[in-house]
Amino acid sequence: MSESTNLDFNNLDIEKLAQGLLENFKNVENIMTDFSKTYEQLELDPFNLKELYTEWFMTAIRNPQKLAQINVEFLQNAMHLYQRSAMGFLGINAEPVIQEARSDRRFHHEDWAKEPIFNVIKQSYLLVSQWMRSLVADVEGLDDHTAEKVKFFTERYLDAMSPTNFAATNPAVLQRIMETKGGSLVHGLKNMLQDLENGNGQLKIRMTDTEAFELGKNVAVTPGKVVFQNRMFQLIQYTPTTEKVFKRPLLVVPPWINKFYIMDLQPKNSMLRWFVEQGHTVFVISWINPDERYSDIGFDTYLEEGVLVATDVVQQITGENEFNAIGYCLGGTLLSTTLAYMKTKGDKRIRSATYFTTMIDFSEPGELGVFIDEEQIGSLEERMNREGFLEGSSMAGAFNMMRANDLIWSFYINNYLLGNDPRPFDLLYWNSDSTRMPAKMHSWYLRNMYLNNRLCKAELTVAGAPIDLSTVDVPTCFVSAVEDHIAPWKSTYAGAQLFSGSVRFILGGSGHIAGIINPPEGGKYDYRVTDVLVPDPDEWAAGAEKHPGSWWPEWQRWIAPMSGDLVAARQPGSSKFKVLEDAPGSYVKARSGSTVAVAPPKLPAAAKTESNAKAPKAVKPAVKSGSPKAWTIKAVDVSKAADDLTAITGIGPKLAAVLQQKGITSYAAIAAMSAEEIKTLLLSEGPGYSRYDTSSWPEQAKLLNGK
């Protein structure tokens, strides 16, 4: 290793080091043995990659000449690497055969360049990666969708096989192992097992310390009040900070796939706070986090009992008949559909629309397209029909896969190989705070938007009305991000041309989140903007002038003339719509698998509106009476437990809480039970608990109790 990281071996107590390593690796062995017994039935091929790569191989071998050429080039490069690495081991400098891209942060540790052995490992990996990419690129005879899937999953395989992801070939990890006598690996494996337990057998890597944040305390703190709620959403009205406000209020429609407070993380980067400071009366929809009882809720309901009801409430609270609206991501898709619906009813209350990273034309969905085909949607529908919803973590996993090195493997290395605990980060806290999606609605959305692209073709009927976006003639502003991998900007640009009114297009820097949440004070990135859209997006980008910094002030200059005169600031609520609770409300606090949950509310009598939407109906249960699933999860104060049950191998924090709920709070209680009795107790919680091996728990408990 290099001098900067090398340990002083002359001052090491080798005997103590060896003893420490031996003890810790014994712990590692015990942990892995327990892991293998506990998680024996994981689904190893959820994307059916076996059939995918079989199809690729059978097509690729039809062109043996191309395969031979690729293999010969690889062998030649491998021979060059062998020769130059031999020179490196002899102390002779040699030019590398291949180098990583400047943007590749995996190999920033100096030993990857200075130490011959690590340099060879790195270059070998880069050469194999280059070879595999060549094998799957431009395979003649393979249909485009299959080809994209093969390339996508090949990249994910290469991400996973990086030498930085293995303890034996990562110099930073080896250094940490020596410093901690192997303790870092033990702590890392405990972190892994805790994540597996929290994920019910699926490895859900914690990206941040989720205990470091609390909604309304240090995130989502912009002052405001919940002024309305029904079974679909809570409506938040924010407290004004100026004496005068624009006459037209502003309604924000976030996506239902994640929570609205991405726009209100901290005061320094809160978009909602900034809107308020500019003089807007801001209303935000906070969607319910649905459970299995919402399984038959469709897209129509999100329009009728969601955006339309919110529109009615905003009108009645402010007394205004015209206002502006913003839709973020899928919320923008819903907003555009709502505007087309309102057009059929002669409803002209929304007078301008802004769309953040919104796809309306789904013909080029980017990398998300690899997850969209009949086979995969059918498989997803089977799972949703069993549970009544799609767990939000499933979608989060797909998004993370698209940026695996940043959103998966960097945390894998930090938490498991280096044995560090996750660090607090508000954005990653929000990212982990996933929401569920009703089975019917999500299936409809995937099929009609992504799979068949019916919205832009005017082929949809929603809530009994034909949806034709070309009839929408209100002033429109699209804001997209140049590096967005979820809503590619060229796709959003295509959708922006579907409306008949004036359209401004703003292209900011960075990606799906950072490109939007970019406050002016940060001085980050740049943006392009024009009011004239040519058919070709590349031609548009080449001709649009770049401006430094945030696009937020540019949007404010656009929206201000359409916001009316200044009037006295409006406090949240009205005589008819009483304040229900402080922002951010209770709906947003319902976390998947947490102790915080809310019951689906009844529509308050004072909140009845004159909307074109149908009156809210009771939701039919999606499961039979007596189902073990429940809306509210009982909370347990773990701090009052007499003993730390997680000291027993095989019991993690989540399982310890289950045992404590059942009155098992001490080593003595477990020691007094047989393994079969413990197993029976766990099975009373559900069949998923059959995976736990309880055979050694009583004996372990006796030993711990005797200490």
Q: Would you please indicate which residues are annotated as catalytic (active-site) residues?
A: 329
Return the residue matching tokens 């949703």: 384
d(CA 480, CA 510): 10
Contacts of 542 (CB under 8 A, 6+ apart): none
Contacts of 299 (CB under 8 A, 6+ apart): 334, 337, 441, 444, 445, 448, 462
Query: How many other C-beta atoms can be found within 10 angstroms of the C-beta atom of residue 466?
Result: 14
Query: b/e per residue, 418-438, with b = 16+ CB within 10 A?
Result: bbbebeebbbbbbbbbbbbbb
Which whole-number Å values give the CA distances from 401 to 40, 43, 152, 556, in the listed order?
24, 17, 9, 35
Residues 269/517, Cβ–Cβ less than 8 Å = yes
d(CA 129, CA 208): 30
For the chain, first and last CA: distance in Å? 42
Of 216, 196, 374, 226, the C-alpha closest to 310 is: 226
Residues 451/377, Cβ–Cβ less than 8 Å = yes
Contacts of 46 (CB under 8 A, 6+ apart): none
d(CA 389, CA 97): 50
d(CA 130, CA 122): 12
Residues 307/285, Cβ–Cβ less than 8 Å = yes
Task: Specify the long-range contacts of residues 612-615, CB closer than 8 Å, at least 24 apart.
Answer: 612/304, 612/308, 612/345, 612/347, 613/303, 613/304, 613/305, 613/308, 613/309, 613/312, 613/463, 614/304, 614/305
Q: Amino acid identity of 56?
A: W
Peptide bond into 584 cis (omega under 30): yes
Of 436, 462, 470, the C-alpha closest to 305 is: 462
d(CA 144, CA 527): 32
- Report the interhelical angle of 697-706 vs 675-683 (nearest 10°): 110
C-alpha angle 223-228-234 in degrees, rounded to nearest 5: 75
d(CA 211, CA 361): 40
In this structure, the strands spanning 546-548 and 566-568 are unpaired
Of 582, 144, 193, 539, the C-alpha closest to 365 is: 144
Residues 174/185, Cβ–Cβ less than 8 Å = no
Burial class (CB in 10 A: 0-12, 13-18, 19+), 675: middle
How far is Cα of residue 473 from the mean position of the Cα atoms in its chain? Answer: 34
d(CA 22, CA 28): 10
d(CA 503, CA 493): 10
Query: How many other C-beta atoms can be found within 10 angstroms of the C-beta atom of residue 183?
Result: 17
